[in-house]
Amino acid sequence: MKFAICILSEGCDDLESLKVYRILPDEKAGRAGCLRVVDESGEDYLYPTEKFVVVEFSDETETRLMESICMAA
């Protein structure tokens, strides 16, 4: 599981700055300079990589983040 923090939400209604988002693997998107992000709509969309900083968390933190995402859905 990978996560990224949005550092620039300007121009994207479904992103919030300084919020952690789940990113999904997508090699084609990566080659195009994008990340596939599950945004505020609950759907995954492509966004430019410069809007995010990819972060790594411990397994425990990732589990807790996923639990909070599931509870919010």
Range of the domain at 53: 2-72
Q: What is the pLDDT of residue 67?
A: 85
Q: Could you tell me the pTM of the whole model?
A: 0.86
Report the CATH number that the domain containing residue 29 is assigned in CATH: 2.30.30
At 40, which amino acid appears?
E
Q: Tell me the pLDDT band of 73, cut-offs 50, 70 and 90.
A: low
- Contact partners, residue 33, CB within 8 Å, separation at least 6: 48, 49
pLDDT tens, residue by residue, 14-72: 999 999 999 999 999 999 999 999 998 989 999 999 999 999 999 999 889 888 877 76
DSSP 60: H
Domain count, the chain: 1
CA–CA distances in Å: residue 11 to residues 1, 17, 47, 57, 64: 26, 11, 11, 28, 30
